[in-house]
Chain A
Amino acid sequence: MDKILEVKDLNVIFHIFKADVQAVRGVNFELNKGETLAIVGESGSGKSVTSKAIMGLIPNPPGEITKGSSILFEGKDLVNYTEKQMEKVRGKEISMIFQDPMTALNPTMKIGKQIMEGLVKHQGMSKQDARNRAIELLKLVGIPKPEQRVDEYPHQFSGGMRQRVVIAIALACNPKILIADEPTTALDVTIQAQILDLMRDLQKKTGTAIVLITHDLGVVANMAQRVAVMYGGKVVETGLIDEIFYNPKHPYTWGLLSSMPKLHAKMDKLLAIPGSPPDLADPPKGCPFAARCPYAMKVCTNHMPEYTELSATQKAACWLLDERAPKVAPPETIGVGGNQNG
């Protein structure tokens, strides 16, 4: 498969008063043409910072993408791009959908105009052409009466409708990559399913590769072909969706899967991973998950494990996979079956 995006050893540091927060610490992943890669992890694991880094939207200062990081888009390194060069990538080659549709649209600008801006800028369309295309896009994302609604303002749209508009804006210039940063988190469950269906449909039509950032494994199961699990600013496990769901190897992935509510199992309470994520202003020397890991060994706190290749597509960074480590079976609670999407 053709790699369209390759993130190599990405490090992002935020220089905050008296501390350097290492939000992303050596992240590696790649995205193939037309596929959906899910990046999962809990809050503060570095998912959003990674996506903003790809878009070149890390504010500097205080943010800094450190030397040695590279983000290869079609072989060209975006880290070295100037602001002017990035403007030609954003919205045209790589687009982004944001978490909260209620705040992601400019309240004082008509919907149509917000869609048209990118078209005029990147495709040099005339206002009339851009307007027609905006109506077309609104129809594409399933907004009824687009000819009329194109002239309305965001407050006249519901949350789900606004997210459709946000998607229309992102897809306006047929980008090669769409980064969706928790696109359904702020929506209620029925609308979530609609938005995910829409994204899948649009992907089929346009062939856009999607980086889906989420903490909702149900969404992942529905949308993605591959998964990268992030924890403490690092990718701890990556693999095909079946590998991650049915044969996970990293204890953090086990924890994530266990904490997902099951439809058919009788459960008295929801399982959680005890503890909280590491302080990235002073990250642990070893595995970031060691402090919360029920299987942690001495080596875990002092040395970061290397990746173990488990198949051509799956790898995980965990000392349990070392041949000298004791054999540990994953807990039964990870059991995945049936439809996980709400």
Chain B
Amino acid sequence: MVRFILKRTGYMLVTFYIVLTLTFLSMKLLPGTPFKQAQKLTPQQLNTLKSYYGLNDPIPVQYVRYVWNFIHGDMGGSFQYGNEPVTDFLFARFPISLQLGINAMIVGTVLGILLGIVAGINRGKSLDWGSTMVAIIGVSIPSFVLAAILQFFFSVYWRIFPVAGWGGFMYQALPTLALAIGVTAQVARFMRTEMVEVLNQDYIVTAQAKGLSRATVIYKHAVRNAMIPVITIVPPMTAAVVTGSLVIENIFNIPGIGSQFVDSIVTNDYPMIMGTTELYALLYIVSLLVVDILYQLVDPRMRVTGGKA
């Protein structure tokens, strides 16, 4: 297992290096300059600025410098925020996005799995239809529409939660819910399909033939096997939710990473764009490793060590 993780970590580093290179190269292809009101600057001033940021050097030199600095934990300074180090910026804002994303994933996955189980074991009955409806609604309504609805009822009408801002549980509840509903829907649909499939397997009949109660059969034999494929979608979804909460962060005025990312793109803030992109890439790559590790934990057939087969 340790060897497997080390090997995979090696592959991950290679993947990440490729992403880093591609990000750097695509930055060089972006039109425009990072400097505001560049048209008002004289060519000399522009030139001075460019050479200050090292943008006049040949691209290979810039590239080697970027990679070298990156290895030493320096991702450069932001152009738009007075040269503030990108790393500081990410460290300050990313945890907030991460917290929100993880909240939503936990709520969404748990609800989704429960709904999926209920639907799967009641296939074709009203409970199945009910939970399928919830899933369809969850997939169909965009999170920002849901966010506005939640804000209207919970904040304006009933005044339970604050409209916007960031802080403890009270602030986190609504954005978490708004993000979680889509996750719930996807996980529920997936889980339902798997439950239906697993409940038709021969080993379920074997379990029943042992005289186990229906609850035991479902809980111990069906759910665990049905969850294996679900596990594969959750970590990449986490990466997507953590990075994709941009709209929600805007609506609830949450100082996360998402909204700043858009600003960086608009202003050609190269180090900032690269830093954020690389963070997202890293998150995704790590999530895939997590999938493989989880897979081995829940499915003995996937284990690379410990078994003879």
- Measuring CB to CB, which residues of chain A are less than 8 angstroms from any residue of chain B? 55, 57, 83-84, 86-92, 95-96, 98, 100, 103-109, 114, 117-118, 121-122, 152-153, 155-156, 166, 169-170, 172
* Selected A-B contacts with CB under 8 Å, 5 pairs: A86-B211, A96-B209, A107-B225, A108-B225, A109-B224
> Which residue from A96, A107, A172 sits with its C-beta under 8 Å from B301?
A107
B300 contacts the other chain (CB 8 A):
yes
- Interchain CB contact under 8 A, A153 and B208: no
Residues of chain A within 8 A (CB-CB) of B214 are 83
CB-defined contacts of B207 to chain A, threshold 8 Å = 106, 117
Q: Say yes or no: is B126 at the interface (Cβ < 8 Å to chain A).
A: no
CB pair B210–A98 under 8 Å, yes or no, is no
Interface residues of B in 200-216 (CB under 8 A from A): 201-203, 205-214, 216
Give B295-309 interface residues, CB cut-off 8 Å to A.
298-301, 307-309
Chain A nearest CB from B210 CB (Å) reads 4
> Would you give the shortest CB distance from B305 to chain A, in whole angstroms?
13
B309 touches A156 (CB 8 A): yes
- Decide: A106 and B211 in contact? CB cutoff 8 A: no
Q: Which residues of B contact A86 (CB under 8 A)?
A: 211
Instruction: Check A88–B211 contact: CB distance below 8 A.
Output: yes
Q: Are A90 and B211 neighbours in the complex by a CB distance under 8 Å?
A: yes
Given contacts A87-B213, A91-B209, A121-B211, contact A106 B225 (CB under 8 A): yes
Residues from chain B with a CB closer than 8 A to the CB of A109 are: 220-221, 224
Expressed in whole angstroms, the Cα–Cα distance for A103 and B212 within the complex equals 18
- What chain A residues lie within 8 Å of B301 (beta carbons)? 107, 153, 155
Complex contacts, B228 vs chain A, CB 8 Å: 108
Closest to B303 in A: A153
> Are B208 and A121 neighbours in the complex by a CB distance under 8 Å?
no
User: Are B298 and A90 within 8 A (Cβ)?
Assistant: no
Residue of B with least CB distance to A95: B209
A153 touches B307 (CB 8 A): yes
**Known contacts A153-B300, A155-B301, A156-B309: does B210 contact A106 (CB below 8 Å)?**
no
Known: A155-B301, A156-B309. A104 touches B210 (CB 8 A): no
Q: Specify which chain A residues have a CB less than 8 angstroms from the CB of B220 in the assembled complex.
A: 109, 117
A90 and B203 within 8 A (CB): no
Q: Does A107 lie within 8 Å of B300, measured CB to CB?
A: yes
A117 and B307 contact, CB distance less than 8 A: no
Find out whether the CB atom of A57 lies under 8 angstroms from the CB atom of B211.
Answer: no
CB distance from A309 to the nearest CB of B (A): 35
Q: For residue B308, which residues in chain A have a CB less than 8 angstroms away from its CB? A: 156
In the assembly, what is the distance between CA of A37 and CA of B200, in Å?
29
Of A107, A122, A166, A170, most B-chain CB atoms within 10 Å:
A107
Report chain A residues within 8 Å CB of B210.
Answer: 90-91, 95, 117-118, 121, 169, 172
CB-nearest residue of chain B to A153:
B300
Assembly CA distance A96 to B212 (angstroms): 13
| CB–CB B211/A104 < 8 A | no
Question: In angstroms, how far is the closest chain A Cβ from the Cβ of B125?
Answer: 10
A103 and B201 contact, CB distance less than 8 A: yes
For the complex of A and B, list the 6 residue pairs with the smallest distance between their C-beta atoms, beginning with the closest: A91-B211, A90-B211, A153-B300, A103-B202, A91-B210, A118-B210
Minimal beta-carbon separation of B231 from chain A (angstroms): 12
Cα-based distance from A95 to B207 in the complex (angstroms)? 11
B196 to chain A, nearest CB (A): 13
Instruction: Please judge, given known A-B contacts A108-B228, A155-B300, whether A57 and B221 are in contact too, CB under 8 Å.
Output: no
- A101 — nearest CB in chain B belongs to which residue? B202
| Contact, CB under 8 Å: B300 / A118 | no
A residues less than 8 Å from B298 (CB atoms): 108
Per a CB cutoff under 8 Å, which of B211, B213, B224, B309 touches A92?
B211
- Least distance between A75 CB and chain B CB atoms (Å): 20
Given A106-B221, A106-B225, 18 other A-B contacts at CB below 8 A? A55-B209, A88-B211, A96-B209, A98-B205, A104-B205, A107-B203, A108-B225, A108-B228, A109-B224, A117-B210, A118-B212, A121-B212, A152-B307, A153-B301, A155-B301, A155-B309, A166-B206, A169-B210
Question: Which residues from B are CB-within-8-Å of A166?
Answer: 206
Min Cβ gap B122→A in Å is 13
- Shortest CB-to-CB span from B205 to chain A, Å, is 6
Q: How far is the CA of A103 from the CA of B225 in the complex (A)?
A: 13
Chain A nearest CB: distance from B202 CB in Å?
A: 4
Q: Please give, as numbers and ranges, the residues of chain B lying within 8 Å of A90 by CB-CB distance.
A: 208-211
Distance from A298 Cβ to chain B, minimum over Cβ atoms (Å): 44
Enumerate B275-309 residues with CB–CB distance to A below 8 Å.
298-301, 307-309
What is the chain A residue whose CB lies nearest that of B298?
A108
Cβ proximity bits B54-92 to A, threshold 8 Å, 1 near / 0 not: 000000000000000000000000000000000000000
Chain B positions within 8 Å of A170 at CB level: 209
Closest chain-B Cβ to A123's Cβ sits at a distance in Å of: 11
List, in ascending order, chain A residues with CB within 8 A of B212's CB: 87, 91, 117-118, 121
A122 near B300 with CB under 8 A, answer no
B87 CB to closest chain A CB, in angstroms? 42
> With a CB–CB cut-off of 8 A, which chain B residues contact A104?
202-203, 205-206
**Which of the residues A57, A96, A103 comes within 8 Å of B203, measured between beta carbons?**
A103
Measured CB to CB, the nearest residue on chain A to B199 is A59
Tell me which of A55, A83, A152, A155 has the highest count of chain B C-beta atoms within 10 A of its own C-beta.
A155
| A155 neighbours in B (Cβ, 8 Å) | 300-301, 307, 309
Residues of B within 8 A of A114 (CB): 206
Chain A residues with CB below 8 A from B209, complex form: 55, 57, 90-91, 95-96, 98, 170
Interface contact A98-B211, CB-CB below 8 Å: no
* Chain B residues closer than 8 Å to A100, beta-carbon distance: 202
0/1 interface trace, chain B 206-242, chain A, CB 8 Å (1 if under): 1111111110100011001100100000000000000
Given A87-B211, A153-B301, are A106 and B206 also a contact pair (CB < 8 Å)?
Answer: yes
**CB-CB nearest in chain B for A166:** B206
Task: Kindly state the separation between the CA atoms of A156 and B300 in the bound complex, as whole angstroms.
Answer: 10
B301 CB to closest chain A CB (Å) equals: 5
